[in-house]
Chain A
């Protein structure tokens, strides 16, 4: 049994789960300034029961990195030290603002609203920035920093897309109509970001270039961008159809947005494999002692199905359209 490979996949699944799940609630946070006070209350209610559990996937992802690839944990988080701090400060303000904004009054509420938005934005941008640094192997220099900043902005766009399509699922009436518009803006932003990043990545990394331009495999790989384009098209079409009441189900834009993320993630995984730190550490070089991997795998195999099951229960309990005032 190839334990490091299994843990790499497990970590990939956790990170993808985190990005999609916390992505939508970070996205909702970034969209707050575009809504009225009453709409903000509904928006917050739509993510209220879930955000705690969503963030736990980040702890699991980082936990697996720490437990299964301790060498990489040190290298990656050491190189990303300051963006990690920025992300954590963003997440902290945001998480606490979430609880405080409804309990505060007057200018205090305004302040927490602002911190909720700013924290969501800072955390999202920092995550994208870290991804950019990670892909480029933490190279220093202006070009690499610019690349990372573009990835940061793209991830913000992606989260806005997830957040907006989530609101399409969870809201109705005027707010849903607004969310449909935000979804399209988010989609354009994502298209621009994914396009730029796809063009730039082979230029900044020789390893990725070699993996992508390796005929005839390149032709088979074209499935990924094609699927991504198709998912984007579905977002565009279904948001239009929902706006015109032409019978597209309200979950379709969100599902397609999740597909965009999953496909991009697969592409990224393909580009980086078998490295956990590009050009420096493979997953086997960075892996922890097999004894600890085995113990954690047994636990994960037993517990993960339960986690998935009760997460599903929680989403079932809170199904349907969100109403405001959950926190009052």
Chain B
């Protein structure tokens, strides 16, 4: 483990995987918060205000985690991957710069007004601040996904004295995979946030079954998820077809297709064997992959053998893809079933509440798996076809990387543990009091008003 390339990748991978947890929640949660805020403004119900305040606290904590882990990244771009900036900095730099300028300051500044300014500014300004925070988080996602998509499917670039520079910025930003990846990520965020909302509400209902607001927010989360989950399946399919067109090696790794052939089966499960370049213990559906990817059972698909050594490692991409898709299917089932059971404001049975509570962070697992597919699936390239990861690594010593990797890992473990404890604590806070109060009259409205 003293290979600097491997350590640099491990460190950067740990960092982005930890970082993405928090934006993937805040991007969509910001819009849900705007909904709560507007609901309070329209109805004047104290319950909505209480809900808004609870979820702004969760948002603020999550946002802070995103900010502090994001700052780390702005340093690591240069320290771990100096070759990246030297070769494609003229394209990556401005995209990152625009993210800081247009999004970071906007969200960070108005977050202050949103969190603490409710009694200091008129309602329209407070709603406006909430909307600007939401716009800022989405804008930030726009720039980052533009850059990431450009690294997957570069376009609009020209070579100038050994550096890749932008010939056409519109083509760089709206590169071939950008619309798909951006939509896929925004919906992923929507699913992550809606399952967190539904899951923590279910957690609260398990402790205080009469909490009417928790029942409402559970329904908000479930309905948003029920709409988004099937849409995500369709968007994901389009995204896959786009990947097949531009990064066929990634698709071959996702589906563990080792050899180019016609009528390729869909591998449901297998253990890809990199030594024999075959799949062990495979369970397959005949013609499935050809059917899904080419919409023709006999179509030919390129296998990994078509790319020589220039293809990603198969096992992590293959398994991560199956985890993502598996969770996506379960999300559709859970959200639809719960939406049906809780129709006309019916209380969900306890076993279903436990299920929802168990799915609270399913969006995180699916999102991180999806990013593992797309990022490891891009290897050995850092920028597809233009720059190899091994060409971009810096000359930080293995020892320095090892020390800092350990430091980051310990820090992240501590922060994550604290985050989870506080999140579940906040979700359950006051639940006992609410339950006790609701007992005499057993009126849901009474529980909502306190």
Instruction: Report which A residues bind B (CB closer than 8 A).
Output: 48-50, 52-53, 55-56, 58-60, 62-68, 70-71, 73-74, 77-78, 81-82, 84-85, 88-89, 91-93, 95-96, 98-100, 103-104, 288-289, 291-292, 295-296, 299-300, 303-304, 307, 310-311, 314, 317-318, 326
Contact between A70 and B93, CB atoms less than 8 A apart? yes
Contact between A49 and B116, CB atoms less than 8 A apart? yes
Instruction: List the A side residues contacting B165 at CB < 8 Å.
Output: 289, 291-292
What is the CA–CA distance of A317 and B90 in the complex, to the nearest angstrom? 39
Contact between A88 and B110, CB atoms less than 8 A apart? no
Instruction: List the B side residues contacting A60 at CB < 8 Å.
Output: 100-101, 104-105
What is the CA–CA distance of A184 and B120 in the complex, to the nearest angstrom? 33
Answer whether A63 and B100 are a contact pair too, CB < 8 Å, given A78-B82, A91-B71, A104-B422. Answer: yes
29 contacts between A and B (CB under 8 A): A49-B112, A55-B67, A55-B108, A56-B67, A59-B71, A62-B74, A66-B89, A67-B93, A67-B94, A74-B79, A74-B82, A74-B85, A77-B75, A77-B78, A84-B75, A88-B75, A96-B68, A100-B418, A103-B61, A104-B422, A288-B93, A289-B90, A289-B160, A292-B90, A292-B166, A296-B94, A311-B105, A317-B113, A318-B120
Per-position 1/0 for B44-83, Cβ under 8 A of A: 0000000000000100110111011111101101110010
What is the CA–CA distance of A65 and B100 in the complex, to the nearest angstrom? 13
Please give 5 more A-B residue pairs, beta carbons under 8 A apart, in addition to A49-B117, A73-B85, A299-B102.
A68-B93, A73-B78, A91-B68, A103-B425, A318-B116
What is the CA–CA distance of A48 and B117 in the complex, to the nearest angstrom? 11
Contact between A59 and B100, CB atoms less than 8 A apart? yes
Please give the distance in Å from B243's CB to the nearest CB on chain A.
28
Instruction: Report which B residues bind A (CB closer than 8 A).
Output: 57, 60-61, 63-65, 67-72, 74-75, 77-79, 82, 85-86, 89-91, 93-94, 96-98, 100-102, 104-106, 108-113, 115-117, 120-121, 160, 163, 165-166, 169, 394-396, 400, 403-404, 407-408, 411, 415, 418-419, 422, 425-426
Best-buried of B70, B115, B394, B418 by chain A (most CB within 10 Å): B418
What is the CA–CA distance of A309 and B57 in the complex, to the nearest angstrom? 26
Answer whether A304 and B116 are a contact pair too, CB < 8 Å, given A288-B93, A299-B94. Answer: no
Contact between A95 and B64, CB atoms less than 8 A apart? yes
Within 8 Å by CB of A92, from B57, B72, B426, lies B72
Answer whether A96 and B65 are a contact pair too, CB < 8 Å, given A59-B104, A73-B85. Answer: yes
Instruction: List the A side residues contacting B396 at CB < 8 Å.
Output: 78, 81
Instruction: List the B side residues contacting A70 at CB < 8 Å.
Output: 78, 82, 85-86, 89, 93
Answer whether A78 and B68 are a contact pair too, CB < 8 Å, given A53-B112, A292-B90. Answer: no
Please give the distance in Å from A100's CB to the nearest CB on chain B.
6
Answer whether A295 and B96 are a contact pair too, CB < 8 Å, given A96-B68, A96-B419, A100-B418. Answer: no
Instruction: List the A side residues contacting B415 at CB < 8 Å.
Output: 92-93, 96
Contact between A292 and B72, CB atoms less than 8 A apart? no
Contact between B112 and A314, CB atoms less than 8 A apart? yes
Instruction: List the B side residues contacting A311 at CB < 8 Å.
Output: 105, 109
Contact between B63 and A81, CB atoms less than 8 A apart? no
Answer whether A56 and B104 are a contact pair too, CB < 8 Å, given A74-B79, A292-B94. Answer: yes
Instruction: List the B side residues contacting A81 at CB < 8 Å.
Output: 79, 396, 400, 404
How many residue pairs bridge A and B at CB < 8 Å?
Answer: 196
Contact between A303 and B101, CB atoms less than 8 A apart? yes
Answer whether A67 and B70 are a contact pair too, CB < 8 Å, given A74-B78, A104-B422, A317-B113. Answer: no
List 6 A-B pairs, minimum CB-CB distance, nearest first: A49-B112, A67-B93, A74-B82, A70-B85, A292-B90, A73-B78
Contact between B109 and A296, CB atoms less than 8 A apart? no
What is the CA–CA distance of A290 and B407 in the complex, to the nearest angstrom? 37
Instruction: List the B side residues contacting A84 at CB < 8 Å.
Output: 75, 79
What is the CA–CA distance of A59 and B96 in the complex, to the nearest angstrom? 10
What is the CA–CA distance of A103 and B113 in the complex, to the nearest angstrom? 20
Within 8 Å by CB of B163, from A63, A91, A289, A299, lies A289
Instruction: List the B side residues contacting A92 at CB < 8 Å.
Output: 68-69, 71-72, 411, 415
What is the CA–CA distance of A71 and B85 in the complex, to the nearest angstrom? 8
Contact between A295 and B169, CB atoms less than 8 A apart? yes
Contact between B404 and A82, CB atoms less than 8 A apart? yes
Please give the distance in Å from B26's CB to the nearest CB on chain A.
12
Within 8 Å by CB of B408, from A55, A63, A85, A95, lies A85
Contact between B91 and A307, CB atoms less than 8 A apart? no
Contact between B63 and A52, CB atoms less than 8 A apart? yes
Closest to B422 in A: A103
Contact between A307 and B89, CB atoms less than 8 A apart? no
Contact between B112 and A103, CB atoms less than 8 A apart? no
Contact between B113 and A49, CB atoms less than 8 A apart? yes
What is the CA–CA distance of A160 and B239 in the complex, to the nearest angstrom? 52
Answer whether A100 and B61 are a contact pair too, CB < 8 Å, given A67-B96, A95-B67. Answer: yes
Contact between B93 and A59, CB atoms less than 8 A apart? no
Contact between A318 and B71, CB atoms less than 8 A apart? no
What is the CA–CA distance of A49 and B425 in the complex, to the nearest angstrom? 24
Contact between B166 and A303, CB atoms less than 8 A apart? no
Instruction: List the B side residues contacting A299 at CB < 8 Å.
Output: 94, 97-98, 101-102
Please give the distance in Å from A154's CB to the nearest CB on chain B.
23
Instruction: List the A side residues contacting B60 at CB < 8 Å.
Output: 99
Within 8 Å by CB of B112, from A48, A59, A307, lies A48
Instruction: List the B side residues contacting A68 at CB < 8 Å.
Output: 93
What is the CA–CA distance of A127 and B425 in the complex, to the nearest angstrom? 35
Answer whether A326 and B116 are a contact pair too, CB < 8 Å, given A62-B74, A74-B79. Answer: yes
Contact between B108 and A56, CB atoms less than 8 A apart? yes
Instruction: List the A side residues contacting B93 at CB < 8 Å.
Output: 66-68, 70, 288, 292, 296
Instruction: List the B side residues contacting A89 at CB < 8 Å.
Output: 407-408, 411
